[in-house]
Amino acid sequence: MTVPQIIFLATAAVTLIAALMVVTVPRLVHAGLWLILALGGIAVLFILLENGFLAVVQVAIYIDAIAILIIIAVMLTRAVMSDTDPQINRMWLASALASLIIMAGLLVIVSQAPDASRGPLVDAEVGLDALGRALVDVDGFILPFEVASVLLVAALVGSIMVAMTPTRGD
Amino acid sequence: MPTSAISFDSRMSDPFTTIDQFIKGLLIGLGLDAAVTDIVLNIVGAVVLGSVVGAVAILLIWAERKLLARIQDRIGPNRVGPYGLLQTVADALKLITKEVLIPKGADRYVFIMAPMVVVAGVIGLWAVMPLAPGLIGSDINVGLLYIIAIGAIGTLGIIMAGLSSNNKYALLGAFRTVAQMLSYTVPLILALLIPVMLAGSMGMSTIVEAQGSVWFIFLAPLAALIFFISSMAEVGRAPFDLTEAESEIVAGYHIEYSGMAFGMFFVGEFIHAYTISALFTVIFLGGWQGPGVESFPLIGFFYFILKTSVMYFVVIWVRGTFPRIRIDQMNAFNWKFITPLALVVFMVTAILDKLVIEAGFNRTAVHLAANALIVLGTFFLLRAHAASLRRRLEVTDRPQVQQPEAASD
């Protein structure tokens, strides 16, 4: 077994265990922390694929932004520390079904992926440059990119509307 | 670019490369696989870099206490060792011998992990710090993004500390810290985008190499100022130390920590302050650039340390000079002043840089003039705002002045 393989297996094991803990630990804050560990494991997997950019983005977006926001949301909405709600509510069947569908989709995509043994998928330097150009290229992804920013602005305005205290009653 | 002119021979005169080659030869001579040797060397490099940065904290704490004392007209530590140099060692030994108390009802593992996460998040930043020509932990092409990503892990450590302590002051301190760090990340990133545009890369080495002729502080003084202020807020030092305001919330997120667990937060803060000085040096002051670097790469290391120390002095100076701001002032200053200013500077720089390259003007002169214009505009806006505030105050003051009797009973 080569060294990268050992690192891959160890990382994969940690990621899977952390992911399992996310859905099994009773306290929401702990689940959030385990989620951060699982997402960090995925960042390490990106490094093993020799794509430093995706790894850093994974840390910046998922660990920094989303995971920290989840924890803050939990802190602000619950009776913080001692959350002992039942872990399963009446939506469990629907959510299990949704997860199964997502998993089936992932399996189909992964099975169609090109042979991974050919080494790193894209040269990181070229990939980053091409990504930047594709996002602002008219023939590329400029429309989805702009639509996503409109969506974010809408979310921003919406959150301001929610947070704003009504000043006048008329 | 001047540094690409460094010949291969002068790079070999760099002692770090020699040590690297020596250990590599030794390990391969012992019969280790070449791939394993690389990984061992990476681990050794990481451990050495991390330990040196950690050990420097001892010196930093001494320097800061001494300088703060001078600013406040005191002498500072002068009993242990020459000039009190060993005072920090004594303090560290005392902290290590003390028991780490875990309060009742605390979240045991999270509580113990929090200080480690904070320190690790800071030391991790040094992995992409270009210390000298060719001397960098990992020269990834997304260095600045890495800095932002890893830098926010410290926030996570502080949330963990505040949550797990089972103490309302700790929780309040953590809330304040998170609010402050999350909001000041916005101007921080906007200010960092400007050197990225000027250098055309996010790689730390490339950014330093692009400053061979002109340092970025001359091209983007406003961005440098915004970066400096918002990174001070990220560290949470005075004047942004309301996250651990003793007079309001006792000590903030580390109130329940004792012994070396508390010491770790302390060390983390000092290393973080030094790290932002180093980042400022790399991004705006040309890093290891200076006369003579091309023939002797090792001089670059001394330039880097020298500039970083000057910046660290400024950080301490600010800490010793400014009063602590309130939480509403902190938020207002960020969202109503720094963030809009950073947006304006960002857009002006982006447009001008494109035009300058096409028209062939002097890049430095154009950017300096644009920055001066923005400063002037900001002053006029502030004056107008202050005048309107004063007018409103004069209107609302009158009825209050006429009711002294109502107020007296």
Instruction: Give the number of other Cβ atoms within 10 Å of residue B291's Cβ.
Output: 8
Residue B132: per-residue pLDDT: 76
Is the pLDDT assigned to residue A160 strictly greater than 90? no
pLDDT in tens, B157-169: 888 888 788 777 8
For tokens 């500039």, the residue is B307
Confidence tier at B141 by pLDDT (50, 70, 90): confident
**Which residues of chain B are within 8 Å of residue A68 when distances are taken between CB atoms?**
152, 155-156, 159, 178, 182
Cis peptide bond prior to B399, omega within 30° of 0 = no
Number of residues in chain B: 409
Instruction: Choose between B91 and B32: higher pLDDT.
Output: B91
Q: In sequence order, what DSSP letters do the residues of B9-42 get, joined into one string? A: HHHHTSHHHHHHHHHHHHHHHTT--HHHHHHHHH
Q: In sequence order, what DSSP letters do the residues of A11-70 get, joined into one string? A: HHHHHHHHHHHHHH-S-HHHHHHHHHHHHHHHHHHHHHTT-HHHHHHIIIIIIIIIIHHH
Q: What is the mean pLDDT of chain B?
A: 80
Instruction: Give the number of other Cβ atoms within 10 Å of residue B246's Cβ.
Output: 10
Answer for the pair B100, B161: CB distance below 8 angstroms, yes or no: no
**Which residues of chain B are within 8 Å of residue A75 when distances are taken between CB atoms?**
159, 163, 171, 175
Q: What's the first-to-final CA gap in chain B, in angstroms?
A: 76
> What is the C-alpha separation between B367 and B348, in angstroms, rounded?
9
Residue B249: per-residue pLDDT: 67
Per-residue pLDDT, averaged over B109-137, amounts to 84
HSE, side-chain direction, 13 A CA sphere, residue A80:
20
Considering only CB atoms, which residues of chain A are within 8 Å of chain B? Answer: 2-3, 29-30, 33, 36, 52-53, 56-57, 59-60, 63-64, 67-68, 71-72, 75, 80-81, 124-125, 128
**Which residues of chain B are within 8 Å of residue A67 when distances are taken between CB atoms?**
156
Nearest CA in chain A to B189: A60
Confidence tier at B407 by pLDDT (50, 70, 90): very low
Residue A153: per-residue pLDDT: 92
Answer for the pair B297, B6: CB distance below 8 angstroms, yes or no: yes
Residue A10: per-residue pLDDT: 92
**Which residues of chain B are within 8 Å of residue A71 when distances are taken between CB atoms?**
156, 159, 163
Total H helices, total E strands in chain A: 7, 0
HSE, side-chain direction, 13 A CA sphere, residue A27:
14
Residue B15: per-residue pLDDT: 65
Interchain contact, B178 vs A52, CB within 8 Å: no
Residue A163: per-residue pLDDT: 79
Which of A3, A29, A124 minimises the CB distance to B35?
Answer: A3
Q: Average the pLDDT over each of A73-82, A147-156, B103-112, B304-313 and give the range with the smallest value.
A: A73-82
Report which DSSP code applies to B323: P
Which residues, 6 or more positions from A64, have their beta carbon under 8 angstroms from its beta carbon?
Answer: B148, B149, B152, B153, B155, B156
**Which residues of chain A are within 8 Å of residue B141 when distances are taken between CB atoms?**
52-53, 124-125, 128
Interchain contact, B153 vs A63, CB within 8 Å: yes
Is the pLDDT assigned to residue B134 strictly greater than 80? no
Ranked by mean pLDDT, the top range of A111-120, B11-20, B145-154 is: B145-154
**Which residues of chain A are within 8 Å of residue B180 when distances are taken between CB atoms?**
none
Nearest CA in chain B to A50: B140
* Å between B369 CA and nearest CA of chain A: 29
**Which residues of chain A are within 8 Å of residue B153 when distances are taken between CB atoms?**
59, 63-64
Residue B247: per-residue pLDDT: 64
For tokens 């670059």, the residue is B300
Nearest CA in chain A to B36: A3
Residue A92: per-residue pLDDT: 84
Residue B128: per-residue pLDDT: 84
Tokens describing residue B131:
């210390």
Interchain contact, A72 vs B159, CB within 8 Å: yes
Interchain contact, A36 vs B156, CB within 8 Å: yes
Interchain contact, B141 vs A59, CB within 8 Å: no
> What is the C-alpha separation between B388 and B382, in angstroms, rounded?
10
Residue A123: per-residue pLDDT: 54
Nearest CA in chain B to A81: B163
For tokens 């991790």, the residue is B124
Interface test with A, best of B125, B156, B201 (most A CBs within 10 A): B156
Interface test with B, best of A68, A74, A126, A152 (most B CBs within 10 A): A68
**Which residues of chain B are within 8 Å of residue A37 when distances are taken between CB atoms?**
none
Alpha-helical (H) ranges within B72-152 are: 87-97, 108-123, 143-151
**Which residues of chain B are within 8 Å of residue A81 when distances are taken between CB atoms?**
105, 107, 163, 166
Evaluate the CA torsion angle B109, B112, B116, B118 in order and state its sign: positive
Is the pLDDT assigned to residue B230 strictly greater than 80? yes
Q: Is B326 helix (H, G, I), strand (E, B) or coil?
A: coil
* Å between A93 CA and nearest CA of chain B: 32
* Å between A67 CA and nearest CA of chain B: 9
Single out the residue of B120, B266, B138, B121 nearest to residue B181, CA to CA: B121
* Single-letter residue type at B87: Q
ipTM of the complex: 0.76
* Structural element, H or E, at residue A126: helix A124-136
Answer for the pair B132, B288: CB distance below 8 angstroms, yes or no: yes
